[in-house]
Structure 1
Amino acid sequence: MTQNSELKTPIPYGRQHITEADIAAVVETLQSDFLTQGPKVAEFEQAFARYVGAKYAVAVSNGTAALHLCALALGVNEETRVITTPITFVASANCIRYCGGTVEFADIDPKTALLDVANVRAMLESKPKGYYHGLIPVDFAGAPVNLEDFRKLADEFGLWIIEDACHAPGGYFTDSKGNKQLCGNGAYADLAIFSFHPVKHIATGEGGMITTNDEKLYQELLKLRTHGITRDPALLEENHGGWYMEMQELGYNYRIPDMLCALGLSQLSRADEGLARRKQIALQYDEAFRNYEGIEVLGTDAAALSSDGETGHAYHLYVIKVQDRKGLYDFLREHNIFAQVHYIPAHTMPYYRNLGYKKGDFPEAELYYSQCLSLPMYPTLTSEEQEFVIAKVKEFVK
């Protein structure tokens, strides 16, 4: 490989991949009778539910809306207390605050940066049963949380679970019986959510999805997504005719348009191909940085490895840890490599500090943040570009 002396085309940490087939799918819908509330929404929902192995799926305007609707459907209110991780995008916590509930954080497992089940248990045992109401574990970077372990906790302490699987469509962990449990399949979580932001595995520009196996929650989500309104004759308190609808509770306009669902369907059709390419890129990074002094690769949960050695990691991100993270970040940008940091611990944000949190509360999360850097990871990253990234990382660290 040439040193590609100073690549003229920037290499971002993530990038959408829009094909001619994607464009054609959107154009076809634009030329149809429905731009919103049409057939493509249900088609996308059904296809996505099959993809993750869940009974039901509800498409919404974005991942944050998905989280908010989950909290509403579960009855979160001012008396609700929920535990989540500080290493996540703030929406994972904010959704509880939208409903007036209290968010409490638990520290991470330093090997994986996932919510640490032992820390969560310690928090639960420190209070009487009933003090906490729910958990929001996050499949951070695409590493699947072992939800079997969290389900045991939830059952013991009477909690619900929202799985934030925005980073992990197609990911899975292997349960104690040797079964692959796909992220979002509803086997252990009450609800799961996904995002279709451009840097995610499936891109619709903006968009999100909720999956569940609970029919009652599913029906509630359908109403909440559309102003709390239903047209279902079986659910109406009165029925004046074919035009009649009822607003039965306070809901939101969190609908997603048909053209975005058409794009989502097209993207979903090659999701496995994109995931396979992400795993190839991760393997190349693994080989380059294995035992390389000064670089630590963020590990994966052991439960993400099946008996045949295949990883269930979905690799939304590829994260390394270095001592001089700021120096490496700046050095890479000088060479047109736009690595990123995921995430600033949520409890250190001014909003959460104003609620009583402070730096030092979660030392593992804060140590992780001081060292982490997400390297370019997306299916259209070329081998030459990746070799250039690897070379520049090693050049700086060396």
Structure 2
Amino acid sequence: MQTTLSEQSRKLPRAEEAEKILRTCVHCGFCNATCPTYQLLGDELDGPRGRIYLIKQVLEGAPATAKTQLHLDRCLSCRNCETTCPSGVDYHNLFDIGRAVVDQAVPRPAGQRLLREGLRALAPNPNLFKSLLRIGATFRPLLPRSVVAKLPHDLPDPGERPAPRHARRVLMLEGCVQPGLSPNTNAATARVLDRLGISVIAAPQAGCCGALDYHLDAQAKGLERARQNIDAWWPHLENGAEAIVQTASGCGAFIKDYAHLLEGDPLYAAKAQRVSALALDLVQVLADEPLERVCAATDRKIAFHCPCTLQHAQKLGGAVEAVLTRLGFNLTAVPDSHLCCGSAGTYSLTQPELARQLRDNKLNALESGQPELIVTANIGCQSHLASAGRTQVRHWIELVDQSLGE
């Protein structure tokens, strides 16, 4: 696509990258065929091709408007379009560049600002988040239904977490909301890895991966969190930790992007490259391990929801399914498994109506095979799907951990 950036846009730090991506797009429209919001709304501007055109207009000097911002806000950043695109358009990086320009030019209404700033203050603080969850559970009968739906039900006891004792060691990102919404996930991961001779070591100074800030109008803060995590992990990596494991695929996708996002930082570029290279989703760690020796899987019917950040961002579609099938679990077929569930980080809170439609469509697909349980690989998807109050939803490692005991 022919592109001529405005003089102002050429001064942007990532102007050359944006122009290169725009020139890659041939406007074929294949991306619309797999875009969840285009399928729901049928508006060209609510599909990737239309959003690319909006960003192109703004970068070429057209004024950004509230309408521009709305169509960008409706994007899930699911990256389904990247999987579909025959030209290899790096949509998510162009989208991040364009969204930052639009958000700087178009002030948000007070309600939107309050919601976004509240999410940025609350979610990256695990202790505060867990405290508010406890308060919410106490006053559940008095809360609005929309809030009650987000509160977890019947959380399993996380049980013992083994102390480090093996020569093989990995770091693990504990996450922000996961310790409150699904406290058993990381404990189960530590137990499974321990049985395989791998110890999880702590890096207390590591915190939020930065994705939440980065995608809520605060890109500089998101990159600051990335640098803080690199500093926290670096001594352990220098001391022999072999990987940084993520149990939430959304966090993993962002950490694997540290190398690209910090490539222009002379102090962190090399470290970010190494961190991104050593950042592994849990399934990448377990795929080649002899799980069959320690697991006794049942043939109960399971449906697996593959998060967008696992299949489209990290290109690991089918990896978890292969591990679970190898272990003997009976996985049901899931129609349209490439489509987003509507969680998409904070999307279910910033775009609740669209998110509910996508969630219900996804649950219909997941439940079509009549599974006893739905498992997934990302806390956002897990919480969002569970909020419908239908089939129970867990992280897949909890299922593997349970089979250790059985």
Does TM, normalized by the shorter one, top 0.5?
no
Normalized per residue, the structure richer in strand is: 1
Which band: TM-score by shorter chain?
A: under 0.3
The one of the two structures with greater contact order (alpha-carbon pairs below 8 A, sep at least 6) is 1
Q: TM-score, normalised on structure 1?
A: 0.25
Q: Which has the higher helix share?
A: 2
Q: Give the TM-score of the pair, scaled to structure 2.
A: 0.24
